[in-house]
Each structure stands twice: as C-alpha cells, then as structure tokens.
C-alpha cells in the first residue's frame, strides 16, 4: 500500500533513502522529510515501511528541487519502485523547474531506473578514501604544507562560523565545475552545528575552507567541501586544508576519511591522489524537468 509519509514513518523512511547515498546523509533526509514543503510517500507491506519517496518544493544547494526514492533490497522487483515513482510524478505534476537527485555509483540498476523515470546524468563525482594515521604526524604534515603556502590554519565549527563559511565558499566556488547555482546559505543551514570547519588564512583574510563531518560508521568521516578563494589558488592551500582535515578527524577518533570530487575538477582529483587517497564510493548527479512512472522492464 502506498500512503502519505506520517511522522512515525520518518525513521524507517530515512534509513531507506540513505541506501542511495554515497556518504552519510541521514540528517539531510530527516530534515527534508520534516520540511513542511516536502511531499513524501511510503510503501507499506505487512505494517512495515519497505519503500519511500519524496519531492521537495524548496531548491536544494544545487539550485534544483530535490527528490528521493528507495526500496528495501528484499522486496525489489515487485513493482514497488514503479508505484512510488508514479506517486511522485503525480505529486510533482504542478511543479515547474528542475528535479534532481544523487545516487551512489555502485547501483547500476538504480541508475537505469532513475533514467527510465525521466532523469538524466548531469555529472559524476569520483569517490576517494584514506585510512587515518597518527593525528600528531598528520598535524605536522599539515603545518608544513601551510607554511609552504603562506597560510595559518585554525579549527572551528559550523555553529560558530556559519557566516564565515558561506562567505569563503561563495568566493572559492567561483570557477569550480557546476551545472546549477549553489544556494550556499541553505547548504550551510542544513549542516549540524557541530560540523567541523578548517580555515586557512593569510594577511589578506580567509584563504580557503574545508568542511568535514562524521560519516555514519564508527570512525568514518566525510569531506563535504574544500575550496580556495580565487586570490590564493595555485599556492598549495588546498593541500594544507586536506591534511589539516585528516588531522582534525583523527584527533576526534576518526579512522578513515571519504570524499568525492567532480570528474571535471582535474586539480582536486590530482590533489586527492597526491595526498594518498584511493578511489572509493562516488555518486551520479541526475536531473530532469519531470518525473515519470517507468514501465516495468
């Protein structure tokens, strides 16, 4: 049975939608489901939520209205995803603009389904991962990189420095590959207050910023943003921030760092490899002007 998502359904819906995420997005899914403007449905089988879908009405940080759809692995192949897509198509029928979603890149079946539902791949982000070692050694390496690039490093949190993050990101995002405007204030507002920020500064002010947060599994951390302001590029600032982020996570008990780089961002792809990261789980970004209910193949 497909029915509107009720408050008591949200925890199960969050866990299902999280199956599509390359990084821990549970706080993002919960925030979306609790947003009064979101329209969400769930599939219920024997009293258990086995599928979930949502259509947001407020553009997300990519400047597009977010959607999500997931079905529990053990009940896939029964047409539940098709039924949910049909409900989402009906919910979005009076809404104009672009709909968007992200999907972890180890789900080719999910990608084919999304394409049949009217979405097309906009870009791909390569995933990277690294095991974290001694925080003191990592901090020393970050200090050396900072000295070479002429910056000083400091740690803070999103709750303490949200406005500073937005200002630094607004400058550093210039020239980065993106297909849509980025609503940085909304992006920052969606991050928990305890999210860790690493800033690089010089005599001219903020030179760059890196945002990291715990990534679900014990010891796991995720890099959600790294950027260098335009006046400070090609000085090694990003390398110093990356290494500082590893040290900050390790000092908080982190054992691994994961992140993604847009495949069109050659400098960041090269940097991730240069600092010792290895290819890991990434994601596809998809978008479309409408949602359709795909025929079952």
Residue from 42, 45, 24 nearest 33 by CA: 42
The whole domain housing 8 covers 2-123+284-288
* Interval 3-29 mean pLDDT: 94
d(CA 255, CA 247): 10
Strand partners, 120: 287
Q: Is residue 293 part of a domain?
A: no
d(CA 245, CA 111): 32
Strand partners, 44: 49
200 & 241 share domain: yes
**Counting runs of H as helices and runs of E as strands, what totals does the chain give?**
9, 12
What pLDDT score does 249 carry?
98
DSSP state of 169: H
Distances (CA, A) of 16 to 11, 36, 213, 230, 280: 9, 20, 21, 40, 22
Query: Is the pLDDT reported for residue 143 higher than 70?
Result: yes
235 & 203 share domain: yes
Number of domains in the chain: 2
193 & 115 share domain: no
Per-residue confidence band for 181, with pLDDT thresholds at 50, 70 and 90 = low
154 & 104 share domain: no
Query: Is the pLDDT reported for residue 180 higher than 60?
Result: no
Q: Is residue 294 part of a domain?
A: no
94 & 185 share domain: no
185 & 116 share domain: no
Mean pLDDT lowest among 109-113, 156-160, 204-208, 290-294: 290-294
Q: What is the pLDDT of residues 206-230, one digit of tens each?
A: 999 999 999 877 899 999 999 999 9
101 & 160 share domain: no
41 & 149 share domain: no
Q: Is residue 62 part of a domain?
A: yes
* Interval 102-108 mean pLDDT: 96
Q: Is residue 171 part of a domain?
A: yes
145 & 242 share domain: yes
For the entire predicted model, the pTM comes to 0.88
Query: Is the pLDDT reported for residue 94 higher than 90?
Result: no
What pLDDT score does 287 carry?
93
Q: Is residue 228 part of a domain?
A: yes
Q: What is the CATH number of the domain that holds 114?
A: 3.40.630.30
């Amino acid at each position: 049975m497909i029915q509107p998502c009720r408050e008591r359904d949200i925890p199960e819906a969050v866990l299902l939608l999280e199956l599509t995420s390359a990084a821990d997005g549970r706080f993002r899914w919960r925030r979306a489901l609790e947003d009064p403007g979101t329209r969400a449905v769930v599939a219920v089988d024997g009293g258990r939520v086995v599928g979930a879908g949502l259509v947001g009405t407020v553009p997300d940080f990519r400047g597009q209205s977010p959607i999500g759809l997931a079905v529990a692995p053990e009940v896939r192949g029964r047409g539940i995803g098709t039924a949910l897509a049909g409900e989402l198509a009906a919910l979005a029928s009076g809404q104009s603009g672009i709909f968007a979603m992200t999907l972890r890149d180890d789900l080719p079946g999910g990608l084919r389904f999304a394409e049949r539902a009217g979405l097309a791949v906009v870009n791909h982000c390569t995933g990277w991962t690294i095991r974290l070692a001694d925080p003191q050694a990592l901090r020393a390496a970050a200090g050396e990189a900072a000295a070479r690039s002429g910056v000083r490093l400091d740690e803070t949190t999103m709750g303490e420095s949200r406005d500073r993050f937005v200002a630094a990101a607004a400058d550093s995002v210039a020239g980065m590959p993106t297909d849509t405007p980025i609503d940085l204030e909304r992006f920052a507002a969606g991050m928990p207050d305890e999210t860790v920020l690493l800033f690089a500064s010089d005599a001219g002010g903020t030179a760059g910023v890196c945002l990291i947060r715990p990534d679900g599994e014990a010891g796991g951390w995720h890099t959600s943003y790294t950027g260098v302001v335009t006046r400070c590029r090609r000085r090694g600032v990003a390398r110093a921030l990356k290494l500082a982020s590893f040290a900050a996570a390790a000092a908080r008990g982190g054992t691994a760092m994961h992140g993604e780089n847009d495949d069109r961002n050659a400098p960041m792809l090269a940097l991730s490899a240069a600092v010792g990261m290895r290819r890991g789980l990434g994601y596809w970004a998809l978008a479309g002007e409408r949602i359709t209910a795909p025929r079952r193949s």
